[in-house]
Structure 1
Amino acid sequence: MWTWDPLRDVWQERPLAFACAGDPLAAQYPHAENDIHAVAAVVSGGRVVLAAGGDEQGVAFWDLESGALIRGARFEDPYLAAVTEVRGEGAPLFVTATQYAEEVLVWGPSAEAPVKLVNEVGHIACLTASHALGFSLAAAGGMDEGVAVWDLPAGGEVASFDTDEKRVLAVSLAGLAGDPILVAGVEDEIYVWGLADEHGDDPLRDPLTGHEDAVVAVDTAVIGECTLAVSGGEDATVRLWDLVTGTQLGDPLIGHGGSVETVQTAILNGRHVALSAGRDSRINIWDLQAIAR
Structure 2
Amino acid sequence: MADHQEAGTPITVENAWPFTSVTHAFLEGRSAAVVVGSDLRVWDLDDRQLIRHVTLPYFPPEKDFKHGLRDVACTRVNGRVVAVTGGYDKTVRIVDLLAGAQVGDPLTGHTSTIWAVACGSLHGTPIALTAGDDTTVGLWDLRQRQPIGRPLTGHTKAVRSVAWGRVDGRSVAISSDRDTVLVWDLEASPPMPRPLEDLGGEVRAVALTAVGGRPVAVTGGEDVRLWDPLTGRPVGPPLFDGRDTFVSSLACGTLHGRPTVLAAIYGQHVRVWDLEEHRRIGPTPPGRYADEVPAHWTDPATGDVYDLTGDLVDDDGDRWKVVDYDGIEPIVCELPNDPTVAFGIVDAHQEFGLSSVITPGRHR
In which range does the TM-score fall when normalised by the shorter chain? 0.7 to 0.9
Corresponding residue number in structure 1 for 2:113: 123
- Structure in which a larger fraction of residues adopt strand: 1
Mapped contact 1:88–1:132 kept (Cα < 8 A): no
Corresponding residue number in structure 2 for 1:13: 9
Equivalent positions of 1:93-242 (< 5 A) are 93-99=82-88, 101-108=89-96, 109-115=98-104, 116-120=106-110, 122-131=112-121, 134-159=124-149, 160-196=151-187, 198-203=188-193, 205=194, 207-233=195-221, 236-242=222-228
Please say if 1:251 is aligned against 2:237: yes
SS of equivalent to 1:250: coil
SS of equivalent to 1:182: strand
How far apart are the structure 1 equivalents of 2:153 and 2:69?
Answer: 24
Identity %: 25
How far apart are the structure 2 equivalents of 1:87 and 1:247?
Answer: 33
How far apart are the structure 2 equivalents of 1:282 and 1:89?
Answer: 37
Corresponding residue number in structure 2 for 1:24: none
User: What is the deviation of 1:132?
Assistant: 7.3
Corresponding residue number in structure 1 for 2:39: 58
User: What is the deviation of 1:17?
Assistant: 6.3
How far apart are the structure 2 equivalents of 1:76 and 1:91?
Answer: 21
How far apart are the structure 1 equivalents of 2:275 and 2:16?
Answer: 39
Please tell me whether Structure 1 or Structure 2 has the larger radius of gyration of its CA atoms: 2
Mapped contact 1:16–1:67 kept (Cα < 8 A): no
The one-letter code matched in structure 1 to 2:70 is A
Mapped contact 1:188–1:209 kept (Cα < 8 A): no
Corresponding residue number in structure 1 for 2:75: 86
How far apart are the structure 1 equivalents of 2:128 and 2:269?
Answer: 29
Mapped contact 1:137–1:150 kept (Cα < 8 A): yes
Compared with structure 1, are the counterparts of its residues 33 and 158 closer, same or farther at alpha carbon in structure 2 (3 Å cutoff)?
closer
Of stretches 8-17 and 241-250 in structure 1, the one that deviates more from structure 2 is 8-17
User: What is the deviation of 1:75?
Assistant: 8.8
Number of residue pairs matched? Answer: 267
User: What is the deviation of 1:76?
Assistant: 6.6
Compared with structure 1, are the counterparts of its residues 252 and 164 closer, same or farther at alpha carbon in structure 2 (3 Å cutoff)?
closer
Corresponding residue number in structure 2 for 1:270: 257
The one-letter code matched in structure 1 to 2:272 is I
SS of equivalent to 2:231: coil
SS of equivalent to 2:239: strand
User: What is the deviation of 1:91?
Assistant: 3.8
SS of equivalent to 2:39: strand
SS of equivalent to 2:100: coil
Which of 266, 269, 274 in structure 2 is aligned with 1:279?
266
User: Unaligned 5+ residue runs, structure 2?
Assistant: 59-66, 282-364
Compared with structure 1, are the counterparts of its residues 216 and 59 closer, same or farther at alpha carbon in structure 2 (3 Å cutoff)?
same
Compared with structure 1, are the counterparts of its residues 121 and 140 closer, same or farther at alpha carbon in structure 2 (3 Å cutoff)?
farther
Mapped contact 1:172–1:182 kept (Cα < 8 A): yes
The one-letter code matched in structure 2 to 1:15 is I
User: What is the deviation of 1:231?
Assistant: 0.6
Of stretches 66-75 and 216-225 in structure 1, the one that deviates more from structure 2 is 66-75
The one-letter code matched in structure 1 to 2:9 is E
User: What is the deviation of 1:288?
Assistant: 1.4
User: Unaligned 5+ residue runs, structure 1?
Assistant: 1-5, 19-31
- Deviation string 1:7-66 (CA, Å, 9 cap, x unpaired) is 022212243566xxxxxxxxxxxxx24632321121222322222132xx2112222333
Compared with structure 1, are the counterparts of its residues 184 and 248 closer, same or farther at alpha carbon in structure 2 (3 Å cutoff)?
same
